[in-house]
Structure 1
Amino acid sequence: MDESNKKDRFRGCLMGLAAGDALGTTLEFSPPGTFKPIDDMVGGGPFQLKAGQWTDDTSMALCLAESLIESDGFDAADQIRRYCLWMNEGHLSVLGWCFDIGRTTANALKNFENTAEPYSGSTARDTQANGSMMRLAPVAMLYANTPVKIALGYCADSSRTTHAHVVCQDACRYLGALIICALKGMEKDAFLTENPPVEDDDYWKQHPLSEDIQRVAAGSYKQAKDSQEIAGIGYTPKSLEAALWAFYHSTTFEDGALLAVNLGDDADTTGAIYGQLAGAYYGLSGIPKSWREKIAMKDLILDYADKLFEKSAHSA
């Protein structure tokens, strides 16, 4: 794979996250069966956003990307400080203030402000939300060329700042592995497997996934043919399943993104999780131009993607 194709995939990964988020905000909090399915990026939704504006998913992903770039690597304390800057001052928000922050995330950030503990995520059973998966892409991008144990270890650690439950960490490890495979140009059939191919053949045996994530990895999303069998909700295993269902049952970025967000409920996050994987697979060039042109702060998104690409190449 030539350099321009690799770079296109990196750009697609981060832009795809934002595009899925912006597409899905229209239907956020809308239960299935209560809305007319959308077929374009039109904005609106609970926050009355303009077409191309995005929510907390992309704000947090950009905070994470910014931290990885400016810290020259993984620094959990720096990451969570930037999340707090977003929460308190609207850093990297399209509206200039924080909106749509999840309860689990907000509690973790407040905990950090009180304790200075960077890994402030709760391990409580009721905190298995998708707020760490939605922002994952920058970590997978930066460490795409490093040994799998390091790369996927950082994917898990990136969850622990706000979502420390093992299910959330394992979802990030599994999704991170899929994103890295897509960035490397693998075909869907090669990596949409129970044990995505990594250079360490024993990795998945030595670091098995928790039961609920393992069930998704084993192909629950492949068996579900109909959207009524899938739930685009905030619970991490269901959220991962929904995004993979949309990716598996489509052949273009656009078609899969519409499948993902038209599930309703947590539509922006289902879109963001789908978008980072599909963007890495189809590349920036595979995202509809009309959508790319609408994305708020698109130049910054591409700049961060390019910087992560350069740093990733140097870490090979």
Structure 2
Amino acid sequence: MEQQDFRSRVRGCLLGGAVGDALGAGIEFQSLEEIRSRHGEEGVTDYVPAYGRRGAVTDDTQMTLFTVDGLIRAHVRRDTGAWHPPTDVHAAYLRWAATQRDWGPDERRATDGWLAREEWLYARRAPGNACLTGLADERMGTLESPKNPGSKGCGTVMRSAPFGLLVGWEPQLVFQLAVECAAQTHGHPTGVLSAGAFAVIVHGVVRGETIDAGVRHALALLATRPDHEETSEALQHALEAVRRGTPGPELVQSLGEGWTAEEALAMGVYCALVAEDVRHGLLLAVNHGGDSDSTGSICGNLLGALHGETALPPSWIAELEGRATLLQLADDFSMEMTQGPALHAPGSSAGSAAWLARYPRA
């Protein structure tokens, strides 16, 4: 894959997810009737104020950013022979959890890296309870001993697109990493498997597959796992809904409300599959009476990965909270995945010290 194409898809995936998140943030807890009464028959067609501003993002984007941070840190640590990405992602999620408790970045250690020192991330944006309790202490949940074993909230899916950006990995390894990291906060099989399925769909799209092909690849991997039926059926319903007529809120709501992992996955995937363009897909993904920011985020991750950053509506990018951070992290991820050894391998240039200050090995 051309480096510029990869960079555009990474940027598109992260920015698209954040735009979908921000479009849904102001209507997340409203019914479809409430949305239409406040914003007209078409529902929202642009950002509406949330958390005191237009274009505000939620915990979905916050956690996605820390997923990326954890993956970069894991890649940087490969030079040392310490290679266990779930541990690095977990450490990144603990840094996110601190942003939900602390007033600001003043107390951060140098080893926390640059993302944890971004002031704007210190804001509570309706984080999921399982994410907060799963990260309330330092024990890392695993597939054998997960945190919150009964929980299958959508908090696993909405943060898992970055695993799919590991284009040099085989799909089954992307799937495995996503489910292992999902178990750090949610233990229900549907919660973890939905995260794995989403990562594989993103992975296929970034590597040049259609969304439909990515879904079918995910279904094949799901079929090898115990307790996959709920997740597989949700994705099958998304594929079937594509053939059920003109897309609209009623068809989206026939797939669920999005509060659980498999429903959010199915709704976001469906909207991406039927999208005429990015704008159409994202507005379809948020105008329903459920978890609008999460379904918008999932759809946006997919459409951005599919079409690249230039397909995203410029006016939405311009008003997006944290845009500079998102772009910096996307570009750093692309650099690390394509130029990593030159950045920090033993004997690399003086610039490696600056890179390791941003992404410490500790």
- What TM-score bracket applies, with the shorter chain setting the length? 0.7 to 0.9
CA distance in 1, matches of 2:213, 2:127: 36
Partner letter of residue 227 of structure 1? P
Cα distance, 1:293 vs structure 2: 1.1
CA distance in 2, matches of 1:28, 1:10: 26
Match of 1:281 in 2: 306
Q: Can you give the 5+ residue segments of structure 2 that lack an aligned partner in the other structure?
A: 37-42, 77-84, 105-115, 341-362
Judge conservation of contact 2:163–2:178 (CA < 8 Å) in 1.
Answer: yes
How much identity, in percent, do the aligned residues show? Answer: 23
Match of 1:55 in 2: 58
Match of 1:132 in 2: 156
Match of 2:180 in 1: 157
Partner letter of residue 79 of structure 1? A
CA distance in 1, matches of 2:262, 2:90: 27
Judge conservation of contact 2:238–2:255 (CA < 8 Å) in 1.
Answer: no
Match of 2:128 in 1: 102
CA distance in 2, matches of 1:312, 1:148: 16
Cα distance, 1:95 vs structure 2: 6.5
Matched, 1:240 2:265: yes
CA distance in 2, matches of 1:30, 1:221: 26
Q: Can you give the 5+ residue segments of structure 1 that lack an aligned partner in the other structure?
A: none
Match of 2:69 in 1: 66
CA distance in 1, matches of 2:156, 2:301: 13
Structure 1 residues 264 and 215: CA distance shift in structure 2, 3 A: same
Judge conservation of contact 1:222–1:248 (CA < 8 Å) in 2.
Answer: no
Judge conservation of contact 2:258–2:265 (CA < 8 Å) in 1.
Answer: no
Cα distance, 1:174 vs structure 2: 0.9
Partner letter of residue 78 of structure 1? A
Match of 1:23 in 2: 23
CA distance in 2, matches of 1:189, 1:160: 27
CA distance in 1, matches of 2:337, 2:276: 28
Q: After the TM superposition, which residues 167-246 of structure 1 pair with which residues of structure 2 at under 5 Å, given as runs?
A: 167-193=190-216, 195-196=217-218, 203=221, 206-207=224-225, 210-223=228-241, 225=245, 226-228=248-250, 229-246=254-271
- Secondary structure of residue in 2 paired with 1:35: helix
Partner letter of residue 21 of structure 1? D
Match of 1:121 in 2: 147
Q: What number of residue pairs does the alignment pair up?
A: 302
- Secondary structure of residue in 1 paired with 2:26: helix
Matched, 1:292 2:317: yes
Cα distance, 1:204 vs structure 2: 5.2
CA distance in 1, matches of 2:239, 2:222: 20
* TM-score (structure 1 length as normaliser): 0.87
Judge conservation of contact 2:202–2:305 (CA < 8 Å) in 1.
Answer: yes
Structure 1 residues 72 and 231: CA distance shift in structure 2, 3 A: same
Match of 2:284 in 1: 259
Match of 2:296 in 1: 271
Cα distance, 1:227 vs structure 2: 2.5
Match of 2:328 in 1: 303
Cα distance, 1:68 vs structure 2: 2.1
Match of 1:79 in 2: 92
Cα distance, 1:264 vs structure 2: 3.3
Structure 1 residues 266 and 72: CA distance shift in structure 2, 3 A: same
Structure 1 residues 203 and 32: CA distance shift in structure 2, 3 A: closer
Partner letter of residue 235 of structure 2? A
Please identify the structure whose Cα radius of gyration is greater: 2
Partner letter of residue 105 of structure 1? C
Q: After alignment, is 158-167 or 211-220 more displaced?
A: 211-220
Judge conservation of contact 1:243–1:270 (CA < 8 Å) in 2.
Answer: yes
Q: Which runs of 4+ in 1 moved over 4 A?
A: 90-93, 202-205
